[in-house]
Amino acid sequence: MSLSFKPVSAAFARRSAKVVARDLLGRLIVRTPNDSRPAERIVARIIETEAYLGAPDRASHAWNNRRTPRNASLYLPGGHWYVYFIYGMHFCVNLVAGEAETGGAALIRAAEIVEGADIAVRRRGLSAAPRSGDLAGGPGKLCKALAIDRAMDGLAVHDSRLWLAMGQRVKDADVATGPRIGVGYARQAATWPLRFAIAGHPEMSRPRL
C-alpha cells in the first residue's frame, strides 16, 4: 500500500461532518511532539470515526448550540482540532467539519500505528507491544498513544505538531457503518448510522461493526 504524506487540502474539512468522517478512513495523523526531537514522530492510519452533526444532533457537544468553555473550539471553521477531556481520565480528538459556528465534527475513534509504535507503547505506559487492537483501538487510547491532550485543542489541522496527510482513501466496499458508540441517551440520534470503520480491521474498537 502506498501512503501519501501530502497534507490534506484546506477544503478537506470544510465539507459536512458525515462526509468528512467517512473520508478520514485511511488518512494519516502525523504527530511530532517537539521540533528538537524529530525522531519522536508517530504516524497513525485512521481506522474508525464517528460524525457529530452539531445543533440538530442530540449526541453532539454542540447540540442545541450549547456553548461551554470545554467545547469552544468546536465552533471554529472546519479544519481545526477539537480535543476534550472525558470521564475525568481520557482525551478524545475530533476534526472540526463544515463552516464556522455549525459545531460539526468527526471523532477519531481508532487508528493503526504505522510509524513510531515503540514510542506509542511507551506513551501508553506499556512494557511491550499489546496484541492487535490494544495500542490505539479506542478514542482514549489513541490520544494517549499520540500524546494528544488539551494543548492540541483548537490547533489548525496543518499545525506542525499534529497534522493530517492524505494516506490512501478507503474504497466504499471496505467501509462498514453503524450507530455511534455510547450515545444511548441521544434518543432518535442514537440510531443514526454515523459510525464508520474499515471493515474487519483488528484495531476497530468494540463492539465491532
Interface positions with DNA (CB under 7 A): 50, 52, 59-62, 66, 68-71, 74, 82, 85-90, 92, 94, 105, 107, 124, 134, 138-142, 180-186, 205
Q: How far is the CB of 196 from DNA (least distance, A)?
A: 13
Residue closer to DNA by CB (options 6, 206) is 206
Residue closer to DNA by CB (options 5, 56) is 56
Going 92 to 95 to 96 to 98, the CA torsion angle's sign is: negative
Residue closer to DNA by CB (options 3, 121) is 121
Residue 45's SS3 state is strand
Report, in angstroms and rounded to the nearest whole number, the Rg of the chain calculated over CA atoms. Answer: 16
Closest by CA to 201, choosing from 74, 75, 44, 88, is 44
Q: How far is the CB of 137 from DNA (least distance, A)?
A: 7
State the Cα–Cα distance between residues 45 and 91, nearest whole angstrom: 18
Q: How far is the CB of 34 from DNA (least distance, A)?
A: 24
Distance of CA 204 to the CA centre of its chain: 13
Residue closer to DNA by CB (options 25, 62) is 62
Q: Which three cell numbers stand for residue 96?
A: 472540526
